[in-house]
């Protein structure tokens, strides 16, 4: 079993999704406070590259997920289309 390398950004401790095509923390980020929500990123129709991480928000220890985007417009697409299950 492979272990994911944690990425510490100072704001979040991130663990990459195994489904990520790009394991990059992009500039534009959205914290989703739903750690168990299934987010299928390739169904949103983003224009730029993106990645998804399991996350722990360092300021308060809140668990969730962080979606990161290369293109700022994709943040709006994500916020508009994402509905937690």
Tell me the pLDDT band of 4, cut-offs 50, 70 and 90.
low
Position 3 pLDDT exceeds 60: no
Q: Is residue 49 part of a domain?
A: yes
Q: Is residue 14 part of a domain?
A: yes
d(CA 20, CA 32): 17
Could you tell me which of 47, 65, 43 has the C-alpha nearest to residue 56? 65
State how many domains the chain has.
1
Q: Is residue 42 part of a domain?
A: yes
Q: Which residues contact residue 14 at a Cβ distance below 8 angstroms, ignoring those fewer than 6 apart?
A: 6, 7, 8, 25, 53, 54, 55, 66
Q: Is residue 33 part of a domain?
A: yes
Identify the residue with better confidence: 2 or 26: 26
pLDDT of residue 64: 98
pLDDT of residue 54: 96
The DSSP output letter for 74 is H
Q: Is residue 2 part of a domain?
A: no
Q: Which residues contact residue 67 at a Cβ distance below 8 angstroms, ignoring those fewer than 6 apart?
A: 29, 30, 32, 39, 41, 50, 51, 52, 53, 78, 82
Position 62 pLDDT exceeds 60: yes
* pLDDT tens for each residue of 67-80: 999 999 999 999 99
Q: Is residue 1 part of a domain?
A: no
Q: By residue range, what is the domain housing residue 48?
A: 7-81
């Amino acid at each position: 079993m492979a272990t994911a390398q944690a990425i510490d950004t100072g704001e979040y401790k991130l663990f990459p999704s195994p489904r990520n095509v790009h394991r990059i923390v992009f500039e534009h980020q959205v914290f989703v406070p739903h750690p168990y929500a299934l987010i299928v990123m390739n169904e949103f129709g983003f224009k730029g590259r993106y990645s998804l991480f399991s996350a722990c928000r360092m300021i308060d220890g809140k668990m969730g997920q962080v979606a990161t985007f290369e293109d700022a417009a994709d943040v709006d697409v994500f916020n508009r289309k994402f509905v937690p299950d």
